[in-house]
């Protein structure tokens, strides 16, 4: 399978995307892989697979590699006398802004480039935690209660302490704090508002069970990973999550009942169907007294959650061969022709 990994982007999660791409080079070693890097200035570069190492980017070595521009159905490498197209299927591995907010999806759709990843509407509802809450409400999915605070205007929170503070549009635990008493609130809000003008406040649930489940739809059939019970401390901070993005060893299957596994999968389908087709996502769930709550949607999970799948390569190939096709309006200018004919021009 010929596949191009698109990674980088101008976001706080830029380096995490690089780590994910390097990990996928190992996990998809049997594929015909290419790599396209988007730098913080939104310039695209074709990266030689043998140069896929961290120092290529940290030392700026990528700037000596071929630049690419977008054209219909492909990224194109232009020279003075010729051009070379890099087409096929792309995998959107840009975490955070650009990749998960719908920007790249819009760009790829605009140029009719085939890709694995969330489409624009899916990006909107998963990137902003406020919109994820609205999605849950609309689809009958339980989620943790919350309050929204704005950097321009906010009052005292109503949720009892301890609480967890999260930027509304950011992942990887960046800007996230646990606040155990009122005296810690201002500092936590200042930290979160450095990254976003809106933040989400949720109760910090102690002793809650957490489970991760990934999946995708191919040929109208849902395909699931194993259910993982992550072993965490109070929460995974940025540093621990950064290391987590390079995971490649298979995770252990959670020791749960068939009934709970069925509940998790049914909730996953409620999240996924008629929204995330064409993408492989991971949902993080809380289970409280037997009830399943959606904690977070990861529309482009770290290293594509490869560690949750028995055969990750086969899963990506299956998804790549059943991507949705966007319908385009056919323009034939009948209306303009009828007007000009009526006017005799």
- Measure Cα distances from 64 to 15, 59, 313 in Å: 19, 11, 31
Task: Residue 101: name the closest of 123, 69, 131, 134 by CA.
Answer: 123
- Position 327 scores a pLDDT of 80
Could you give the number of structural domains in the chain?
Answer: 3
Query: What average pLDDT does the segment 47-70 reach?
Result: 96
Residue 185 shares a structural domain with residue 222: no
* % helix, strand, coil for the chain, step of 5: 30, 25, 40
Question: In the block, which residue shows the tokens 């594509």?
Answer: 304
Residue 18 shares a structural domain with residue 108: yes
Residue 132 shares a structural domain with residue 84: no
Query: What average pLDDT does the segment 188-194 reach?
Result: 89
Q: Is residue 52 part of a domain?
A: yes
DSSP H helices, the chain, are 14-27, 54-58, 103-110, 120-127, 129-139, 185-193, 238-244, 258-272, 312-320, 334-342
Asked if 9 contacts 98 with a C-beta cutoff of 8 angstroms, the reply is yes
pLDDT above 70 (res 169) = yes
Q: Centre a 10 Å sphere on the Cβ of residue 189 and count the other Cβ atoms it contains.
A: 20
Asked if 36 contacts 47 with a C-beta cutoff of 8 angstroms, the reply is yes
CA distance 146 to 130: 9
Residue 137 shares a structural domain with residue 232: yes
Pairing status of strand 147-150 against strand 114-116 = unpaired
pLDDT above 60 (res 1) = yes
Residue 257 shares a structural domain with residue 199: no
- Both tokens of residue 331? 């323009």
pLDDT above 80 (res 170) = no
The alpha carbon dihedral of 19, 22, 28, 31 has a sign of positive
Residue 129 shares a structural domain with residue 269: yes
- Both tokens of residue 67? 């630049």
Residue 198 shares a structural domain with residue 267: no
Query: What average pLDDT does the segment 335-341 reach?
Result: 88
Q: Which of 120-134, 154-168, 209-223 has the lowest mean pLDDT?
A: 154-168
What are 221-246's pLDDT values in tens digits?
Answer: 999 999 999 976 555 454 555 455 56
Q: What proportion of the chain, given as a percentage, has pLDDT over 90? A: 71
Residue 30 shares a structural domain with residue 75: yes
Residue 69 shares a structural domain with residue 197: no
CA distance 186 to 302: 31
Q: Centre a 10 Å sphere on the Cβ of residue 284 and count the other Cβ atoms it contains.
A: 18
Q: Is residue 338 part of a domain?
A: no
Asked if 319 contacts 281 with a C-beta cutoff of 8 angstroms, the reply is no
Residue 49 shares a structural domain with residue 28: yes
Q: Is residue 60 part of a domain?
A: yes
Q: Is residue 334 part of a domain?
A: no
More confident site: 154 or 157: 157
For 48, phi then psi, to 5°, come to -60, 125
Residue 84 shares a structural domain with residue 176: no
Domain that holds residue 162: 147-203
CA distance 232 to 245: 15
- Backbone dihedral region for residue 308 (phi beyond 0: left; psi -120 to 50: alpha; all else: beta): alpha
CATH classification at residue 35: 3.40.50.20
CA–chain centroid gap for 206, Å, is: 27
Q: Is residue 106 part of a domain?
A: yes
- Position 226 scores a pLDDT of 98
CATH classification at residue 154: 3.30.1490.20
Residue 104 shares a structural domain with residue 245: no
Asked if 86 contacts 76 with a C-beta cutoff of 8 angstroms, the reply is yes
Q: Is residue 19 part of a domain?
A: yes
Q: Is residue 252 part of a domain?
A: yes
For 204, phi then psi, to 5°, come to -85, 115
- Position 171 scores a pLDDT of 67
CA distance 218 to 319: 5
Q: Is residue 344 part of a domain?
A: no
What does pLDDT average to over the chain?
91
What are 251-270's pLDDT values in tens digits?
Answer: 999 999 999 999 999 999 99
């Amino acid at each position: 399978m010929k596949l191009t990994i698109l990674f980088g982007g101008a976001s706080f999660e830029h380096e995490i995307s690089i780590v994910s791409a390097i990990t996928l080079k190992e996990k998809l070693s049997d594929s015909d892989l290419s790599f396209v890097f988007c730098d913080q200035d939104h310039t695209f570069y074709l990266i030689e697979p043998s140069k896929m190492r961290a120092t290529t980017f940290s030392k700026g070595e990528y700037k000596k590699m071929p630049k690419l521009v977008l054209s219909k159905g492909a990224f194109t490498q232009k020279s003075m006398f010729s051009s070379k197209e890099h087409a096929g299927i792309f995998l959107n591995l840009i975490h955070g802004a650009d990749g998960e907010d719908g920007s790249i999806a819009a760009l790829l759709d605009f140029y009719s480039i085939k890709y694995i990843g969330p489409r624009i509407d899916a990006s909107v509802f998963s990137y902003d935690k406020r919109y994820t809450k609205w999605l849950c409400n609309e689809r009958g999915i339980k989620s943790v209660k919350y309050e929204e605070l704005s950097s321009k205007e906010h009052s005292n929170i109503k949720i009892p302490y301890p609480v967890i503070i999260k930027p509304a549009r950011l992942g990887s635990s960046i800007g996230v704090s646990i606040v155990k008493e009122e005296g810690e609130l201002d500092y936590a809000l200042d930290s979160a508002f450095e990254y976003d003008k809106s933040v989400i406040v949720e109760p910090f649930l102690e002793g809650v069970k957490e489970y991760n489940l990934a999946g995708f739809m191919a040929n109208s059939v849902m395909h699931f990973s194993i259910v993982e019970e992550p072993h965490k401390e109070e929460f995974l901070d940025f540093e621990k999550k950064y290391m987590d993005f390079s995971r490649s060893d298979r995770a252990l299957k959670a020791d749960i009942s068939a009934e709970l596994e069925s509940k998790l999968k049914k909730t996953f389908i409620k999240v996924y169907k008629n929204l995330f087709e064409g993408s492989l996502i991971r949902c993080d769930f809380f289970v409280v007294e037997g009830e399943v709550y959606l904690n977070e949607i990861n529309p482009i999970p770290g290293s594509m959650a490869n560690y949750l799948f028995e055969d990750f390569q086969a899963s990506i190939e299956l998804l790549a061969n059943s991507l949705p096709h966007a319908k385009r309006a056919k323009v034939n200018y009948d209306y303009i022709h009828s007007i000009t004919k009526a006017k005799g021009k």
